[in-house]
Each structure stands twice: as C-alpha cells, then as structure tokens.
A and B are shown apart, each in its own frame.
Chain A
Amino acid sequence: MFSRALRRSAALPVRRAPVAQPLARRAVTTDAASSHADKESVPTEDDKPFEVKLSDESFETYELDPPPYTLNTTKKELKQMYYDMVAVRRMEMAADRLYKEKKIRGFCHLSTGQEAVAVGIEHGISKEDHVITAYRCHGFALMRGGTVKSIIGELLGRREGIAFGKGGSMHMFATGFYGGNGIVGAQVPVGAGIAFANQYEGKDNVTLALYGDGASNQGQVFEAYNMAKLWKLPIIFGCENNKYGMGTAANRSSALTDYYKRGQYIPGLKINGMDVLAVKSAVEYGKRWCSEGKGPLVYEYVTYRYGGHSMSDPGTTYRTREEIQRMRSTNDPIAGLKQKLLDWGVTSEEELKAIDKEARSHVDAEVAEAEKMAPPEATPKILFEDIYVRGSEPDFLRGRIPEENFYYKESAVPKEGEKPAPART
C-alpha cells in the first residue's frame, strides 16, 4: 500500500493546478421552515399538546440513534418561542444601534441569525440545568433569566448591568448560566466540572457547554471530551457552527468540519440550528440520554450569523453578500417559524403581529430604561470590590498614588499619625 502511494506520488506532475478548496459540507438542512404539522391536528386550546413532524434532514448522527423526528408541543409554547426569538433579535439590534452611536464601547459580538439555538436550547431544558458558552452570549443570558435592561445596561457599562458593568458583552452570568467567557474554548472544561459536580451531588440535570466552530480546535475542548467520556458526565458539548471562526471559514481551519464527529468516542448529532423545533427536540433527547447515565454527547448546531464576528468586522470580506442575503431571505429562523405558525393555523396574522409588537415594545422599553441608567460612580469601592471574598481582603489595594490606595477595612482615611506605607499588594 505504502509503495503504491509512493509510486503514485512520483508519477504526479511536479506543478499541480491549484485545487479549489471544497466548501464545508453541511448536509443537514438549514431550512428554518422544514417541519410539518397537519392543520387538522392542531387543537384549538392553547396548552393542549399536539405533534409536529421534523424534516428528515433535521439531523445527522454519529454512533447514535437519531432523536425522534416528532415533537410534542403546544400552541402556547410555539408562540413563546416566537416571542423569545423576536426579543433576542430586537435586543441584538438595539445593541448594534447603541454601538454605532458609540454608547456601547469595546467588544461586542451579536448573535443575529443564531437565535434558534439559544431559544431552542432553553425550551429543551429546565431552570435546574446549566449552560455555559463563549462570548456570543447575549441571547443565552436573556433566555436564562437575565433581563433586557440588565444585559443592555451591562453593555453600556452601568452599575445595574448583569455583571455590574465590569464584564461587558462577553461576560454575563445568570442563575444556571456560567457565562459568557472571553477566552475561546476555556469554558468547555469548566462545563465538564459543572457537570461533574451535579453528577456527584446526584442531581438529575444536564450541562450544556457551547463553543463555536473556531473554538472547536482548542486543545482543551478535547481534554474536556476525554474527561467527560471517562467519567460519563451528564454533559452535551455543543458546537455552534456558524461557518466562520472570525473571518476564517470552517474548512480552512478544521481538518474535519464534521464537528459532531469530533468527539470520536462520544456519540454525536448534527442539528438544523436554524429550526428552533429541531434544536428543542435534540436537546430534550440529549437531556434524556444524559439522565439515563449514558455519558456525554457532542452536538453541532448548524447555524449562521448575519453580522460580522464582532462590531469591528463588516462580515463581508470573507463571504459573499449573496450568501448572507440567501440565508437571511430563505433560512431565517424567525421567518421560518412564523410561516409554520401561520400554515398550521396555530395563530393568525393579527395575533402574530401583536406578539411581534409586544416583544419589540417590551425590549425597546427596557433598552430605553437601560440608556437612562447613570454611569457608575467613580469611586474606588466599585473598582476594588469582589476581587477577594468580602471580609477577607488584604488591608488595601494600591491606586496610582498613595492617596488613591483603597483600604478595605473602611479606613479610607488612615488614623492620625499612622499613615500606612504606600505599598503594593
């Protein structure tokens, strides 16, 4: 075999014509409106369950039986999903505007186009479950229980922000939500630890550790896979594949773009991440899998971001405008669900408009409130608090000049005749 390879390579002409890089294969559909329900089977009651059939192309599996292609849902839940996705997008658009108005500064990564992942996951898990993700986290923070006001407040650097204005775009925490992590890939082993602690305490819940197609090449992602499989941790690793790690297309950065197969010894599932119903179904399936003690899973949510990687990236230098336009016009998760809700008679055009309006006005009102928040007081207390656990801090932390040193034990003014040395900690 080896000798044949040698012979063949020797026979090849020295100069080869440049071979076009094959585009990353994404065989599951990204059609956001691919599921189906019989109009007759949709009940009139808002909270009576009925069955939705997912498209045959919703999933691809690796060493795993596919999740059921049917999903039980209610009209109420579908409408809530729609509301949530509209709210997330509206909030991201507000962030975009505030950034362009130079009210939000620094780094800001928007998830416009990827709403179905955050919303689908939240509808597939409960508040007792845990989510940790990377820097594109606004939607997750909102879905986990953060308010629009606290998220936009955070972006604006306000005291009422979800992380007291200290984290900004990439760093948001909520109950059951562990960030919001600025270091690409660092959240994945942390997620494994969270899953372990829950397993250790005998809790029947699941942890979802999310990362992007760019982060999937980080070594620590594989370290986390290994530990999770070794100890059968109840964790679903989730690669949000939006095709580009910053400006590098997945096939240019990854030797294997089948991110759901990257767990090798961990079963994987590739999911239509533009269809909120497929995401919900997959996550519910994964949660059952984990609670049966079967160990971890590796998910790949095939999705697409409309905007650039961050606010400084126009997002058009490494992909065509046509590609973005095509995804926006034909695969949009919100438009997809909207069409289905109307087709299935879940709701009327008027009711949908009312939901739209309600979501938008709620977000707009909270954004306006956030904009009115005063900038934080310029006191050292705000700067120095929460570095160490309260009450056990060092005597002081150093400012630029001795007079600015911050003394934790309330003695910002040293006692007379006892001026502490201007030293560092």
Chain B
Amino acid sequence: MSLPIRTLRRVLALPPSLRLRTYATSPPNARLNTETDYKTTPILHHTSSSALSNPELPASVRTSQTHRQNFFQAINSALHHALSSDDRVLLFGEDVAFGGVFRCSMNLATNFGSERVFNTPLSEQGIVGFAIGCAAQGMKPVAEIQFADYVYPAFDQLVNEAAKMRYRVGSTGMHAGGLVVRMPCGGVGHGALYHSQSPESLFSHVPGLRVVMPRSPAQAKGLLLAAIECKDPVVFMEPKALYRAAVEQVPVPAYTLPLSKAEVLKEGKDVTVVSYGTPLYTCSKAIRKAEEDFRISCELIDLRTIYPWDRSTILESVRKTGRAVVVHESMVNAGVGAEVAATIQEGCFLRLEAPVQRVAGWSTHMGLIFERFNIPDVARKERYSQW
C-alpha cells in the first residue's frame, strides 16, 4: 500500500511539465479505449493491391498505380484533377490560395492561377451566396468553409437558395447543381466549442442537398470528384481528425465513387453497425473486441452519403442480422442515428431481435477538455454491440 502513495508523491513532486499527462492519451492499462492505430486499421488500404481491388473503381483505374496519401493530400489530388479537367471548376474560400488551414489546396493557386483559386473575405454567407450565383451561371464552384462550425451564417443560402433552386425555376432549367461546399468537421481532440462540431444532420433535413462524409483518403478522392461531377448541390464534410492521421494507398488517376451508396466494410451475422466518418475507426476496434469478448459476428457499414442515403443496403443487412447500432459523433438528439433507427424499425420491425441502439455524442456542447468523453469511444460501442 505504501508503494503507490510513494510513487504518487514522487510524481507530484515533478515539475508540471514532466508529470504524466493523462488527458491527451489513452488511460493507463486501457483495454478498450486505446489510441487508434492508423497503420494497421482494416478501415484503410495498406497495400496497393487491396486499394485497387475495390470493385467500385472503373476497370482502367483498377489496373493503375497507387501512392500513399493522407486525407488532405487525397483531397488535394481530387481538386487538382477537377481543376485540370474542367475550366468551369473554381476553388475559393478563406485562405485557400495559401493552401488552406488544413493544406487541402496546396499549390493549386500556383498551378491554376488566382482567377480560379482565390481567397475570399471572412464572410461565409457571402461565400456561399456567391458560389450559388456562379453555379447558376453553369460554373462548378467548390467553396470551402474553413470549419463546419462556421457554416451557420450560410445556412440560409444553402437551404433557401441552393437546395430549392431547381425546384422553383420553372422551365428555365437553371440550377445550382455545380455547387460543392467543402467543410472540415468533427472532433480532433481539442477543438472545443467552435472547432469540433459535426452539423451533418442539419443539412440532412433538406431535400435538394446531398450530404457526403468520406472515411478515408481513397474514399475522399473518389467521392469529392463525384460531388463535383454531380448536378446537385453537395455539402461535402471532411473529418478533420483524419486529414493527417489517415494514410492509405490511393489510386493515382482520377476516379469517382458512387454517391448515395453505402459500403459494407466488414460482413457479419449478429449485429449491424452503421456509421460514417471518423467513428468508423473506433467502431472497427470495438467490433474486434466485441467479437473476441462476446463471440459474436458484427457487420460494419459506412453510410458515406448521409443524405439522400442508401436505405436498401442498411435494411438488407439488418434483415440478416436482426440487430443494429448506429454510431455518430454529433449529438444523439435528432441526429442521423434517429433517422436510420426509425427507418430500420419501419423496414425490419419483425426481424429485429433487439431495439436499435444509437451510440452518439451526448446532448451537450463540445467542451475543450471533455471532447473525448463526448465522442463515442470504443468501450461504449462495444457495450452497445452486446445488446
């Protein structure tokens, strides 16, 4: 008994900078809530052959080369392809000409000129309104909102102008379909109130918009190019925690991946776990532990497009497994999980063995030091997968 107290005293005697920092790392002796190892996670393609085996890739891409890229480099490649293949593609937002705060637009201003890649003033409502005007003229603007937390002033423009334009222009054929609004979203461990939010569910309430959130570099590249090609306005949310952390083999040529199509990442028999974005990594870990601890088999599905979303893939899976857990980072109240859970109970009620569970952020704000308590962790997910 005396030994631990002595140890504690010794630790406390150290200057604060040398003391054990327990807030930014996993707790000592943690069995479940350990740091995500992005080098080994099955969510990412660690080899060229696995990256090219994706059946969604066009045949020509599947025989091509890959290179290791992190998430922001993949976004950069996609933007590069888009800018070089179509003069109508424009890229603008706060500080994008310098490369953007997350380096997504590195060198694009140099390569494509300040006419096409330029900084805007700090005026989100103005940026999105401006982008809608460009799109109404047939351009393909890719507007960047520096953080998803800043998109709220532009909410009106997205909901009232972008989403409704096609519906209300009569026979003129006008639309804002060329519009893509990119925004980094989600927690990164220390973003706090105004740099960690994930407002996807707000946009998923609006017909006319498409809301996409990729999980990995290769997905980001394909989905962003699909979003730019898509003739509907797209809100493209990039989990900022993955910008540097997620590194994988990404096919070198340009390619698109289907929008509004979920992807089964791991097949299983007993429970379907539905998620998107960053939580997929912790879901994957939780599934591995749950399969060891409870001897169950879990299916993991990435929603990818949050709206309009791929109901049939999810319903098909739950009809098979009979149980579902929906996981997301943003608040549980009126979140995407509510919509998915309601859909599952409507579509598979007689097949359900247990109530659909939602594992999501608590209904509170993202306090700086509490971020990792707020975001669903492996332990919470494992527990719910047991039900």
Residue B137 contacts which of A164, A198, A393, A421 (CB distance < 8 angstroms)?
A: A198
Which of A178-186, A306-314, A357-365 interfaces with chain B? Answer: A178-186
Are B343's CB and A388's CB within 8 A? no
User: In the complex, are the beta carbons of A171 and B168 less than 8 A apart?
Assistant: yes
Kindly state whether residue A66 has any CB partner on chain B within 8 Å. no
Binding site for A on B (CB under 8 A): 90, 115-116, 118, 120-121, 123, 125-139, 141, 153, 156-157, 160-161, 166-172, 174-175, 177, 207-208, 210, 230-232, 260, 307-309, 311-312, 315, 339, 342-343, 346-348
A386 to B123, CA, bound (A): 30
A100-123 interface code vs B (CB 8 A; 1 in, 0 out): 000000000000000000000000
Residues of chain A contacted by B120 (CB below 8 angstroms): 227
A residues near B160, Cβ cutoff 8 Å = 181-183, 186
Cross-chain contact A192 with B231 (CB below 8 angstroms): no
5 contacting pairs across A/B (C-beta < 8 A) = A132-B133, A189-B133, A200-B116, A227-B121, A389-B166
Pairwise interchain contact B126-A223, C-beta atoms closer than 8 A:
yes
Interfacial chain B residues near A196, Cβ < 8 Å: 130, 133-134
**Would A162 and B343 be within 8 Å (CB), given that A192-B129, A224-B130 are in contact?**
no
Nearest chain B residue, comparing its CB with the CB of A196: B134
Q: Which 5 residue pairs are nearest across A and B when measured between Cβ atoms?
A: A193-B133, A189-B129, A421-B347, A223-B126, A197-B137
- Closest beta carbon of chain A to B96's beta carbon, Å: 14
Please, which residue of chain B has its CB at the minimum distance from the CB of A233?
A: B130
Does residue A8 face the partner (Cβ distance < 8 Å to B)? no
Contact A421 B311 (CB under 8 A): yes
Bound Cα distance A181, B172 (Å) = 16
Main secondary structure of the interface of A (DSSP, over half): loop
Partner of A194, one of B134, B156, B232, B308: B134
Interface range, A side: 35 or more
Quick one: which of A179, A201, A421 has the most chain B CB within 10 A? A421
Q: Does A392 contact B (CB under 8 A)?
A: yes
Q: Does A422 contact B (CB under 8 A)?
A: yes
Q: State A386–B210 Cα separation when bound (angstroms).
A: 14
Question: What are the residues of chain B within 8 A of A150 when measuring CB–CB?
Answer: 170
Distance (whole angstroms) from the CB of B231 to the closest CB of chain A = 4
Q: Pick from A200, A392, A420: contact of B139, CB below 8 A.
A: A200
Q: Which residues of B contact A194 (CB under 8 A)?
A: 133-134, 136-137
* Shortest Cβ gap from B345 to chain A (Å): 10
Most buried by A among B133, B174, B307: B133
Is A394's CB under 8 angstroms from B308's CB? yes
- Docked pose: A132 CA to B174 CA in angstroms: 13
Contact call A186/B157, Cβ cutoff below 8 A: yes
A189 lies within 8 A of B177 (CB): no
Q: Whose C-beta in chain B lies nearest to the C-beta of A154? A: B170
A193 nearest in chain B by CB position: B133
Which residues of B have CB within 8 Å of A162? 170-171
> Quick one: which of A212-246 are within 8 Å of B by CB?
219-220, 223-224, 226-227, 230-231
- Nearest Cβ on chain A to B200's Cβ, whole angstroms: 15
* Binary flags per residue of A171-210, CB closer than 8 Å to B gives 1, else 0: 1111100111111001011111111111011000000000
Task: Tell whether, in the assembled complex, residue B121 and residue A223 are in contact, meaning their CB atoms are under 8 Å apart.
Answer: yes
**Separation of A230 and B122 alpha carbons in the complex (Å):** 13
State the CA gap A180–B156 with chains docked (Å). Answer: 16
Interface SS of B by simple majority: helix
* Separation of A224 and B129 alpha carbons in the complex (Å): 9
In the bound complex, do residue A424 and residue B133 qualify as a contact, i.e. CB atoms below 8 Å apart?
no
- A186 and B129 contacting across the interface, CB-CB below 8 Å: yes
B134 engages A197 (CB within 8 Å): yes
Q: With a CB–CB cut-off of 8 A, which chain B residues contact A388?
A: 166, 207-208, 210, 232, 308
User: Are B137 and A219 in contact, with the CB atoms below 8 A?
Assistant: no
Check A395 for interface membership: any CB of B closer than 8 A.
Answer: yes
Q: How far is the CA of A198 from the CA of B138 in the complex (A)?
A: 10
What would 18 more interface pairs be, CB under 8 Å, given A173-B174, A186-B160, A192-B126?
Answer: A163-B169, A166-B167, A167-B170, A171-B168, A193-B129, A193-B131, A194-B134, A194-B137, A200-B134, A220-B123, A220-B129, A223-B123, A227-B130, A386-B167, A387-B208, A388-B166, A392-B230, A421-B312
A193 touches B308 (CB 8 A): no
User: Are A389 and B134 CB-contacts (below 8 A) given A186-B161, A422-B346?
Assistant: no
- Residue pair B133, A220 in contact (C-beta under 8 Å): no
With a CB–CB cut-off of 8 A, which chain B residues contact A425?
Answer: 207, 307-309, 311
Q: CB of A423 within 8 A of chain B?
A: yes
Q: Is the CB of A189 within 8 A of B126?
A: yes
Whether a CB of chain B sits under 8 angstroms from the CB of A397 is: yes
Complex alpha-carbon distance, A172 and B171, angstroms: 10
Q: How far is the CA of A420 from the CA of B348 in the complex (A)?
A: 11
Q: Which residues of B contact A387 (CB under 8 A)?
A: 166-167, 207-208
- Residues from chain B with a CB closer than 8 A to the CB of A198 are 137
A139 within 8 A of B: no
B134 partner residues in chain A, CB cutoff 8 A: 193-194, 196-197, 200
- Interface readout for A316-336 with B: 1 if CB under 8 Å, 0 if not? 000000000000000000000
Flag whether A268 is at the interface (Cβ < 8 A): no
Which residues of A from 377 to 396 have beta carbons under 8 Å from B?
386-389, 392-395
- Assess the B115–A200 pair: CB atoms within 8 A: yes
B-contact bits for A141-155, CB 8 A (1 contact / 0 none): 000000000100010
Which of B90, B126, B153, B315 counts the most A-chain CB atoms under 10 A from its CB? B126
A423 and B260 within 8 A (CB):
no
Asked if A263 lies at the interface with its beta carbon under 8 angstroms from chain B, I say no
A224–B156 alpha-carbon span in the complex (Å): 15
Contacts of B137 in A (CB 8 A): 193-194, 197-198, 201
- State how many angstroms separate the Cβ of B82 from the closest Cβ of chain A: 16
Contact in complex: B141, A423 (CB < 8 Å): no
CB distance from B33 to the nearest CB of A (A): 34
CA distance A132 to B132 in the complex (A): 13
Residues from chain A with Cβ under 8 Å of B339 in the complex: 424
A286 within 8 A of B: no
Complex Cα–Cα for A163 and B173 (A): 10
